Amino acid sequence: MKKILYIFLIGLFFTSCDDLDVVNKASLPQEVVLADLSGFEAVLFAAYESVNDFGYYGQTMMIAPEILADNMDLVNLSGRYEQEFVNAENAIINIWFNRYTAINECNIVINLIDDEYVDIEQADKDLLVAEAKFLRALFYHDLARVYGYEPGQEVNGFNSSVIIRTTPTIGLSDADDRPRATNVEVYEQIEQDLLDAIAGLPVVAAGSPDVARANRTAAQLLLARVYLYWGRNAEAANYAQQAIAGDGSDLVTAANYVDSWDDAAFNFHPESVFESDLRIPDWSTVDGANNSLHSLTMNTSAGFFVVTASDELVAAIDQNEDDVRRDLLTTIPLGEMFTKWQGAKGTVPFQENIPILRLSEGYLIAAEALGAGAGDPFLTAYRAARGMAGGVSATVDNVLRERRIEYMAEGHRLFDLKRLGRNITKPASSGVSTINYSDFRLLSRIPQSELELSADILIQNPGYN
Amino acid sequence: MKKILLTCFMLVFVLYAWAQDRTVSGKVTDVESGEGLPGVNILLKGTGVGITSDLDGNYKISVPSDGGTLVFSFIGMKKQEVQIGNRSVVDVQMVTDIAQLSEVVVTGYGSQLKREVTGSISSVKGDVIEDLPMQSFDRAIQGRVAGTQIAAASGQPGGAMNIRIRGTGSINSGNDPLIIIDGVQVASLGQTSQGSSNPLNSINPNDIESIDILKDASASAIYGAQAANGVILVTTKTGSKKGKTQVNFSAQEGVVQPVNLYDVLDAQEYLEIKAEAQRNVGIDPAGADGVFPVFGNPEDPSTYNEYDWVDNMFQDARFRTYDLSMSGGDEKTQFYFGGSYNKQEGQVRRSDFERFTGRLNLTHQASDKLTINAKLGISHLRQFGSIANGNFINGPWVAAFSAFPVVSAYNDDGTFRDYPGSTFPSHLARYNIIQGVEEEVRLGRTLQTVSSASATYQILPSLSATAFVGIDFSMNRDDNQRPSTILPFRPAGGSILVNNRRTLNVNTNYNLNYSKTFADVHRVRALVGYEYKFEEREGASLGANGFTNPFFTLPGNGQPLQPGGFFQEYKRLGVFGKVDYDYDDKYLVSATVRRDGHSRFGSQSKYGTFYAGSVGWRISDEAFLENTSFINDLKLKASYGVLGNSDIIRNGAPLNYAPQTTWGASSGQYLGGGTTTIGAIGNDNISWEEEEAINIGVDYSLFNNRLFGTIDFWRTNNRDLLFDVPFFQNAGVNTNSVYDNIGSVRNQGIDFELGGIIVDRGGFRWDSRFNITLLKNEVTSLIGGQDTIFDGNFPSLVVGQPVDFFFLLEYAGVNPANGRAMIIDKDGNPSYSGGFEDASIRGSAIPEGYGGWSNTFSYKGISLDIFFQYQYGNEAFNADQYNLLSGRGIDNQSTEILNRWQEPGDVTNVPQLTPTGTIASIDQYYGAIGTDRFLSDASYIRLKTVTLSYDLPTSLMQRAGMRSARVFVQGVNLLTWTNYDGMDPEVVANNNGTGVSSYGAYPLGRQFSAGINIGL
């Protein structure tokens, strides 16, 4: 019997070690994760991948700016874009959280890559940092145009833009309370990042798989757009022309334009200079049907088909019967269906790469920035690529018509009207009267929880309470 | 009363006639087994003379020449008083006393007589829940225990329950009590994710001997850091030393019916309603954009195909249960064996629940000092289910009500129709819900054992040592197949997702028990112990799509997709001690202390110390009450203590690594390369959540034990709440919050239990038990002195309010002049539009009171049990109405929509219909914020169970060679009285993460069953 007692005591001894150490298999320490090139690349890739999030260019940034403006009709009620269609008060574009998360990933790359424990060649470091700066510029550009007015276009002098963070949040003390910077400060930040990116990035061939990563042409084109929004037309024209020169690629010819959207044949749009690559593991089995651009714009059989081209957009295209882009719309019983988002890449339905910056924009920026006369050749060259005759003067209105149609279902429309201070004439079918430029709904609401956390140094956009 | 007085007089008389000159002998036997009963206390009434019966039940005692009265008593048996008269042999048969059995309660690491308990413990005995047609015991004890709120999270067979002991103490950490089955601290998460799953499904309720619920600090402090949410101790049956092996067999068969389903429009009404909406905005329903060409013309039934989706989706489901148990043993070894099979179909067609359980409980006396115990349980569960709660197009409780009543689920040839879309606008993603529940595979299978082994060594007569190890181990596999026969899955070639999970949860403890009585009146019991626990949960999942044939069922037959996996572990250790002292059974004192360490907390804050103390005064034993004959037992008690809570929960799962900043692989890829990001920021200072609990109560038993119960007044202050403190989204971390110890909540209430034998005359007996808990819950402080915490634009916590509330606009009805919905704005005026500033707190989901009332009427073997369960003072938001009463779109609608406003002067709550649900760009149901139009009082009283049983006469049984036989019929959820406007006021909370609203919730069905229970 004593034996049993001993076993008992030995058992007690064994289990009484103060062992409270546990393993989190889903995580590694920072100095292990960020020790080498592949570690930093993985963080950068997280930022790249976020570009095709449904809350960003994967859906929101492509659809919302169209339906909040005048390019889209709502034809099905599934809870999607119903409020946006009628510009309800809180039907806003909310990219706040998902962009700052991606910005933090860029900040990690830009700031931590020089830490002493990091073992990476200097040339590789420079390239990663240049890519991260391009992405950061893109993200701030989108934040700035969603949440603030463009410099010079302020309503009642309201010039608050977004919060600038250029250092990473890796501990709670980094998550400090900050005020919004002015729009000019944000634009200057974007400008500086893009200038750095242009200096550090290589030139790649438009429409090649290389445009899935940041490159010099993409940075030039984005910088041209930022200057155009900023009203600095000379610089806009300059960088637009550098982007057009790019690697020497031309626009798709009019005869080939409609086919160029066949993403089974062209995984990358031939005019793309920056395009987000999408692959099978990016989605769960239902993401395609629930959220993809293809599902929302084209799939009448197994998707959540909700939007068609508005009558007003169709009328704008029909002004010119030579416009080949008319063939990117198909007539169905419910209306005119967009056929840009064919979802035919690879074996998984609904999937396709998401073009973010296309070469055509270089021509349209150059034309608009240089204006009637000097800009005419760019507009003529562009129109030729869409089947239309030249001889049209590069006035803002003429360029704006082309932009509206060129980027239909690509999310430019609201921002083009806004940067020019134009009113939004809503489609008749929405039953919503014209929204003046000064209407507070042109700026999105900053998440209320951010304001609640702030010690009153963060301010909401006007009109929201 | 007279009898008592008479007895008292006799007692006095006997005392005077004191003389001791002859011997009486006899044998005490158990009436059930006929065997001799050892250890029975035999007392000569009115004297200190007493002895105990020997191993065979024999006794011998000296008595006065004129006889007197012998009192026979034995724990668990009915006390008997026998007049000796002039007999010299007095044989006595003892009968089991159910009421007395309840006097022993199981406490942490031991048991105690109820009369000695100074904490607050409620008990339910196994026989109360025996043969109830419910899969888990938590369902069976609903409403039977004061201070314990139990509500179904789903009406699915085997579905989960929400248990709250004495309120909701934690804001966003765990509120689930610690559940201990035969010493095994079981995991609180269900295994399968196919449908709603209850972690207690592996225990057959018929194997349970008793359930003891530790409610206050004194009772539960021995569990220290796990005790703040209360403790539920479940003890399974054991064998007996008393001779013959007893066999019990029961079989039961029944039916479950859906009740109170929403009434939706038929085809003609549907078409008329949609046409009216179009006419209201100037669209001609017969024109090109109209509903008639697409859906059909209400005037012409040949243009549509009427079909009742609701009727075809839900079914009267069958269920059956077979249960076999054997128990017995001898002096050295006792055993209990139980086996059961249970199959229950769900109310949704094709869904079912099937379970096998097995149990072997063994006790062996290896020597006169060493006792070995093993309790082995195993179960296999198979759930084939539709989606339990919520979800949108593929949830039967949503889609069946909103599907078009103008098309059939079937083609003319009997095959499933693709839900229409080409000529109809796309709806429900073209998912045919009836085909979905028939053809989608949602299968969860779980093999689980909750088992333990222990050894007790009697070192000294007053000192023993116990070693215990318990495991809760489960393997689960979920298969989810979406075949390409279903239209939405066709483009992807169907898909299969397989999930394998494994949970290992071990706890072991070693303790020393000391018990001694000094000088007859000073009784001391002490316990010291050490405990270690760890839990590992891990899983791997893989998916595939692109199947060339919908009948392939293995992922390998398709193209690979989405590998996934997880690993979670935590460890805990503790040392504890408890001392109970009483003086002469009258003055009771108890003190407990426990020190715990937990891996979930920061490096400097891993350990915490918890304690409690209590006092009791059995006032009924005092001399000044000795002559108050109507008081049998009266005890005043008070306790105070500080307990801990370590259940950090984020997104419904325990958060085991809160102190660490996580740098991990995020799901997804770019250009084939993996992605990494900072997932969450850690807080190394995080520590225990504490609960300060105070309880003052009285236990009473009056009028010859015919009236008994407990009243407890309690208050808990939960502080240092583990709160997921948000930080700025613009800081750019995916999880924009860190856990910290901030904020406090107060719960206070009264638990009232009252039992009585109302009638006991002429063989007729009426037993009644009633309990009520009054409850108040309030947030008392928040982070940094704030008074409100926001979740997005909505306040989620407000100081002075309960932890759950509804923040909504106040609905002002419909303007009779123009049919537009109105709300009351912040200035108190009716308005067509409303913003956040106009909204306010309109109610709470936390009830003000709850309880139950059971009644047993018995007469000569016939017994009728009637049990009511109720709660009141809580509101529920019926989000189903969002779809069913919106008037917009093409969803089918509840028939309530027929009350819509049609012309000036109509007084109604339902606004004018429009195709978009908006009038003048204003959403008529205020979707962004919501109104209290769909908020209703979810108080209810439910006739929960009625059981009518008949015990066949013993004489008849003996001839048939049986010990007993009982036939019974029973009904569950028979009637409900409520003002709630949804299907079931019980299944409303926290469904599918949609907050405290019922959306697509699976209601409880009405059950009828009949069965037989045979004892051999």
The three-point CA angle B542-B543-B548 to 5° equals: 140
Crossing angle of helices A96-112 and A37-50, in 10° steps, is 160
Q: For residue B954, is pLDDT > 70?
A: yes
User: Three-state DSSP class for B145?
Assistant: coil
Tell me if B590 sits within 8 A of B580, measured CB to CB.
yes
Q: Among residues B852, B850, B847, B849, which one has the least CA distance to residue B875?
A: B847
Q: For residue B777, is pLDDT > 60?
A: yes
Q: For residue B471, is pLDDT > 60?
A: yes
Name the more confident of A181 and B215: A181
Name the more confident of B103 and B367: B367
- CB pair distance less than 8 Å for B497 and A213: no
Q: For residue B791, is pLDDT > 90?
A: no
Give the pLDDT confidence score for residue B989 in this predicted structure. Answer: 59
Q: Among residues A288, A336, A332, A280, which one has the least CA distance to residue A311?
A: A336
Q: What is the pLDDT of residues B568-611, one digit of tens each?
A: 999 999 999 999 998 888 899 999 999 999 999 988 888 999 99
Q: Enter the tokens of residue A451.
A: 């304001």
Residue B11 to chain A, least CA–CA distance (Å):
50
Give the pLDDT confidence score for residue B189 in this predicted structure. Answer: 67
Confidence at B929, pLDDT banded by 50, 70, 90: confident
Q: What is the pLDDT of residues B498-517, one digit of tens each?
A: 999 999 999 999 999 998 88
Q: Enter the tokens of residue B526.
A: 């002490």
The average pLDDT across B522-541 equals 92
Confidence at B18, pLDDT banded by 50, 70, 90: very low
Confidence at B452, pLDDT banded by 50, 70, 90: very high
- What is the amino acid identity at position A220? Q
Give the pLDDT confidence score for residue B488 in this predicted structure. Answer: 83
With residue A421 as reference, give the H or E element that holds it: none
Distance of CA A93 to the CA centre of its chain: 12
Surface-to-core class of residue A123, CB atoms within 10 Å of its CB (0-12 exposed, 13-18 middle, 19+ buried): exposed
Minimum mean pLDDT range among A30-44, B94-108, B239-253, B278-292? B94-108
Surface-to-core class of residue B86, CB atoms within 10 Å of its CB (0-12 exposed, 13-18 middle, 19+ buried): exposed
Q: For residue A195, is pLDDT > 90?
A: yes
The average pLDDT across A166-178 equals 93
B476/B538 Cα distance (integer angstroms): 11
A435/A84 Cα distance (integer angstroms): 13
Give the pLDDT confidence score for residue A18 in this predicted structure. Answer: 58
- CB pair distance less than 8 Å for B792 and A279: no
User: Three-state DSSP class for A215?
Assistant: coil
Percentage of chain B surpassing pLDDT 90? 41
Residue of A75, A101, A268 to mutate when probing chain B, most B C-beta within 10 A: A101
B32/B962 Cα distance (integer angstroms): 12
Nearest CA in chain A to B659: A24
B879/B9 Cα distance (integer angstroms): 69
B383/B195 Cα distance (integer angstroms): 8
- CB pair distance less than 8 Å for B482 and A285: yes
Residue whose pair of structure tokens reads 């098309």 in the numeric block:
B407
A271/A382 Cα distance (integer angstroms): 12
B502/B568 Cα distance (integer angstroms): 11
Residue of A20, A56, A279, A299 to mutate when probing chain B, most B C-beta within 10 A: A20
Give A402-405 contacts, CB < 8 A, sequence gap 24+. Answer: A402/A364, A403/A364, A404/A71, A404/A313, A404/A316, A405/A313, A405/A316, A405/A317, A405/A323, A405/A325
Tell me if A124 sits within 8 A of A197, measured CB to CB.
no
Q: Enter the tokens of residue B198.
A: 């209850």
The pair phi, psi for residue B337, each rounded to 5°, is -120, 135
The average pLDDT across A135-156 equals 97
User: Three-state DSSP class for A204?
Assistant: coil
- What is the amino acid identity at position B928? A
B833/B854 Cα distance (integer angstroms): 49
Out of B427, B606, B669, name the one closest to residue A279 (CB). Answer: B669
Confidence at B306, pLDDT banded by 50, 70, 90: very high
- Mean pLDDT, chain B, rounded, equals 86
Minimum mean pLDDT range among A122-126, B124-128, B654-658, B996-1000? B996-1000
- CB pair distance less than 8 Å for A86 and B921: yes
Nearest CA in chain A to B489: A302
Q: For residue A211, is pLDDT > 90?
A: yes
Give the pLDDT confidence score for residue A6 in this predicted structure. Answer: 59
Minimum mean pLDDT range among A194-208, A232-246, B176-190, B894-908? B176-190
B4/B703 Cα distance (integer angstroms): 10
First-to-final CA distance of chain B: 40
Residues paired with residue B774 on neighbouring β-strands, in sequence order: B750, B849
Residue of B278, B365, B368, B426 to mutate when probing chain A, most A C-beta within 10 A: B426
- CB pair distance less than 8 Å for A49 and B668: yes
Question: What number of residues does chain A have?
Answer: 465
A269/A263 Cα distance (integer angstroms): 7
Q: Which pairing describes strands B940-951 and B964-978: parallel, antiparallel, or unpaired?
A: antiparallel
Q: What is the pLDDT of residues B320-376, one digit of tens each?
A: 999 999 999 888 899 999 999 999 999 998 889 999 999 999 999 999 899 999 999
Residue of A32, A169, A275, A287 to mutate when probing chain B, most B C-beta within 10 A: A169
Q: Among residues B113, B121, B89, which one has the least CA distance to residue B753?
A: B121
Q: What is the pLDDT of residues B741-751, one digit of tens each?
A: 888 899 999 99
Give the pLDDT confidence score for residue A243 in this predicted structure. Answer: 96
Give Cβ neighbours of residue B220 (< 8 Å, ≥ 6 apart).
Answer: B108, B119, B178, B214, B227, B230, B231, B612, B643
Q: What is the pLDDT of residues B677-733, one digit of tens each?
A: 998 898 888 888 899 999 999 999 888 888 999 999 999 999 888 888 889 999 999
- What is the amino acid identity at position B269? E
C-alpha Rg value of chain A to the nearest Å: 25
B771/B754 Cα distance (integer angstroms): 6
Give the pLDDT confidence score for residue A462 in this predicted structure. Answer: 94
- CB pair distance less than 8 Å for A305 and B423: no
A195/A193 Cα distance (integer angstroms): 6
Tell me if B381 sits within 8 A of B201, measured CB to CB.
yes
With residue A60 as reference, give the H or E element that holds it: helix A60-67
B969/B955 Cα distance (integer angstroms): 23
User: Three-state DSSP class for A244?
Assistant: helix
Surface-to-core class of residue B856, CB atoms within 10 Å of its CB (0-12 exposed, 13-18 middle, 19+ buried): middle
Give the pLDDT confidence score for residue A278 in this predicted structure. Answer: 92
- What is the amino acid identity at position B745? V
- E strand map for B826-981: 830-831, 840-843, 849-859, 862-872, 875-878, 918-919, 922-923, 935-937, 940-951, 964-978
Q: What is the pLDDT of residues A391-441, one digit of tens each?
A: 899 999 999 999 999 999 999 999 999 999 999 999 998 888 999 999 999
Give the pLDDT confidence score for residue B76 in this predicted structure. Answer: 65
Q: For residue A257, is pLDDT > 60?
A: yes
Measured between beta carbons, which residues in chain A are less than 8 angstroms from residue B559?
Answer: 347
Percentage of chain B surpassing pLDDT 70? 93
- CB pair distance less than 8 Å for A19 and B467: no
Residue whose pair of structure tokens reads 């749009």 in the numeric block:
A269
A366/A223 Cα distance (integer angstroms): 12
Residue A281 to chain B, least CA–CA distance (Å):
6
B443/B353 Cα distance (integer angstroms): 10
Give the pLDDT confidence score for residue B7 in this predicted structure. Answer: 43
Q: For residue B8, is pLDDT > 70?
A: no
Residue whose pair of structure tokens reads 């063939």 in the numeric block:
A327
B265/B271 Cα distance (integer angstroms): 9
DSSP of B763-812, one letter per residue? TEEEEEEEEEEEEEEEEEE-GGG-SEEEETTEEEEETTS-SS-EEEBEEE
Q: Among residues A219, A283, A241, A280, which one has the least CA distance to residue A54?
A: A283
Residues paired with residue B232 on neighbouring β-strands, in sequence order: B179, B213
Confidence at A10, pLDDT banded by 50, 70, 90: low
- CB pair distance less than 8 Å for B673 and A20: no
Measured between beta carbons, which residues in chain A are less than 8 angstroms from residue B606?
Answer: 20
Q: Enter the tokens of residue B714.
A: 């309690």
Give how far Cα B592 sits from Cα of B118, B213, B217, B468, B718, Å. Answer: 12, 18, 9, 20, 19
Confidence at B853, pLDDT banded by 50, 70, 90: very high
Give the pLDDT confidence score for residue B6 in this predicted structure. Answer: 42
Give the pLDDT confidence score for residue A11 in this predicted structure. Answer: 56
B822/B248 Cα distance (integer angstroms): 64
Q: Among residues A243, A133, A135, A137, which one has the least CA distance to residue A187?
A: A137
Out of A49, A104, A300, name the one closest to residue B426 (CB). Answer: A300
Give the pLDDT confidence score for residue B12 in this predicted structure. Answer: 38
Tell me if B28 sits within 8 A of B92, measured CB to CB.
yes
